[in-house]
Amino acid sequence: MRIRKAVFPVAGLGTRFLPATKASAKEMLPVVDKPLIQYAVQEAISAGAQELIFITGRSKNSIMDHFDKAYELEAELAARGKSKLLETVQDIVPPGVTCIFIRQAEALGLGHAVLQAWPAVGDEDFYVILADDLIDGRLQPCLSQMHRVYQQYGTSVLATQRVPQEETGSYGIVDAQPIGPGLSEIKKMVEKPKPENAPSNLAVVGRYILTPRIFKLLERTQRGAGGEIQLTDAISLMLNEQTVLAYEFEGVRHDCGSKLGYLRANVEFGLKHPELADDFRAYLHEMTAGWHDQDKKRKA
């Protein structure tokens, strides 16, 4: 059992990062030297995906260009003998992997975006990845961990994480029955509940393995939280028919949809970057030592 198709909803406006996202996609914001969407694509490819389906909107041409062949740039790098950089550019889409772009004419919500992928996904189980959740899987990428669960149970799997109770209003929250370490069966699911109404603090984060049944249910899904067609609501309907598992992945999630989460991701990935790590660590030491000195002086 393999999953071959991955859907990337990338039509959101990215208003939290204006003005950076006025003319360019939020998914193109780089963490150190790679855009968020490329981390997401690499994770999908390493979990077996070969067909990448992007649901795009306005101002998203940069995403299409990023995954397209860049003849002039490649020729220029080759002429200058920059073979390492040439390889970096050519490796963005490995051989055998294809990209499909579907334009979502109206931004009616995540559920609506996923529904647009139906003609390209057809009757297969598939991945959904939200690129602004950048997940640093400890031993294995998050989707590969989920794929292992999928191979064992052959059913939908959602990545989940415990969040502080006061933050439930930012997530899809599940009510789930434990069936093994880090694994539970979802009984109920609510999109963005207030803390006092949340069935738990187990939140869905941006990685899903779904069966194609979800498309029929999305067709029937009415506007929900925030007036949007919510993926969470269609998954709730699916709970009456199929098992859906909540999997608490091993690793760290950086919420790159928020400025603080994005800055943290840059620091953590910077500290792991093969060319930058040493200099960057030295710089951070120097800077924080400066803060300690200033604190001491202030207190003295």
State the minimum distance, in angstroms, from the CB of residue 15 to ligand G1P.
Answer: 12
Does position 204 interact with ligand G1P (CB under 6 A)? The reply is yes
Does position 206 interact with ligand G1P (CB under 6 A)? The reply is yes
SS3 22: coil
Dist. CA 220–CA 222, nearest whole Å? 6
Which helix (H) or strand (E) segment holds residue 294: the answer is helix 277-299
Does position 14 interact with ligand G1P (CB under 6 A)? The reply is no
Interface size with ligand G1P, residues (CB under 6 A): 14
Other CB atoms within 10 A of residue 121 CB: 24
Residue with the shortest CB distance to ligand G1P: 172
**Binders of ligand G1P among 218-257, rule CB under 6 A?**
230-232, 257
Which CB atom, from 29 or from 130, has the smaller least distance to ligand G1P? 130
Please check whether residue 191 is in contact with residue 230, taking contact to mean a CB–CB distance below 8 angstroms. Answer: yes
Dist. CA 138–CA 151, nearest whole Å? 20
186 residue type, one letter: I
Dist. CA 254–CA 251, nearest whole Å? 10
Which CB atom, from 257 or from 270, has the smaller least distance to ligand G1P? 257
Q: What is the largest CA-CA distance in the chain?
A: 69
Which CB atom, from 171 or from 215, has the smaller least distance to ligand G1P? 171
Dist. CA 249–CA 136, nearest whole Å? 10
Dist. CA 204–CA 119, nearest whole Å? 26
State the minimum distance, in angstroms, from the CB of residue 93 to ligand G1P.
Answer: 25
Does position 203 interact with ligand G1P (CB under 6 A)? The reply is yes
Which of 36, 110, 244, 256 lies at the binding interface for ligand G1P (CB under 6 A)? 110
State the minimum distance, in angstroms, from the CB of residue 24 to ligand G1P.
Answer: 19
Which CB atom, from 171 or from 269, has the smaller least distance to ligand G1P? 171
SS3 of 182-219: CEEEEEEEEECCCHHHCCCCEEEEEEEEECCHHHHHHH
Dig out the tokens for 96 from the structure. Answer: 């055998």
Which CB atom, from 193 or from 212, has the smaller least distance to ligand G1P? 193
Q: Which stretch binds ligand G1P (CB under 6 A): 76-84, 91-99, 200-208, 270-278?
A: 200-208
Dist. CA 225–CA 69, nearest whole Å? 39
State the minimum distance, in angstroms, from the CB of residue 113 to ligand G1P.
Answer: 10
Q: How many degrees, rounded to 5, is the angle at CA 9 between CA 8 and CA 12?
A: 145
Does position 157 interact with ligand G1P (CB under 6 A)? The reply is no
Does position 205 interact with ligand G1P (CB under 6 A)? The reply is yes
Q: Which residues pair with 12 in a beta bridge?
A: none
Site string for ligand G1P, 34-63 (x = CB under 6 A): ------------------------------
Which CB atom, from 40 or from 77, has the smaller least distance to ligand G1P? 40
**Binders of ligand G1P among 129-148, rule CB under 6 A?**
130, 133
State the minimum distance, in angstroms, from the CB of residue 192 to ligand G1P.
Answer: 7
Please check whether residue 223 is in contact with residue 119, taking contact to mean a CB–CB distance below 8 angstroms. Answer: no
Positions touching ligand G1P (CB under 6 A) are: 110, 130, 133, 171-172, 191, 203-206, 230-232, 257
